[in-house]
Amino acid sequence: MNTIEKRQYDEAVRDLIGDPRTLDSELQEFRQSACMVSSEFERLTVQYPDQWIGVYAGEVVAHAATLPSLISALESLGIPPGELSCATWTRTSAR
């Protein structure tokens, strides 16, 4: 691949994923939140039984009985649902 082709390739990748540093930061935040949910799921299930929880930057920022209610709660906090690190259902009983 010559220099011009590499530059065009790099520009195409940036157009798809944005700035690599921003993407890396977002992936690190997602990892932090996913690890927290994974390691604390039992506690979260007790604390928020049968609830949807929204996790942002490694912290539970909202919870609700339905996903639409969770989205409304997030929006009222000024957190666009697309920026949420993780949303999960803490099901405690068979339905």
Q: What is the DSSP string of 24-42?
A: HHHHHHHHHHHHHHHHHHH
pLDDT, tens digit (0-9, with 9 covering 90-100), for 5-41:
888 988 888 888 888 888 888 888 888 888 888 899 8
Residue 21, helix vs strand vs coil = helix
Residue 95 lies in a domain: no
The reported pLDDT for the residue numbered 92 is 63
Do the domain assignments include residue 51? yes
pLDDT of residue 90: 75
Give the domain range for residue 83: 3-89
Q: Please give the Cα distance from 84 to 58 (Å, whole number).
A: 10
pLDDT of residue 95: 47
- The residues that bridge with 60 in the sheet, in sequence order, are 55
**Mapping DSSP to helix (H, G, I), strand (E, B) and coil, where does residue 54 land?**
strand
Residue 54 and residue 81: Cα distance in Å, rounded?
9
Examine the pLDDT at 73 and tell me if it is beyond 90.
yes
Count of structural domains, the chain: 1
In a domain, 94, yes or no: no
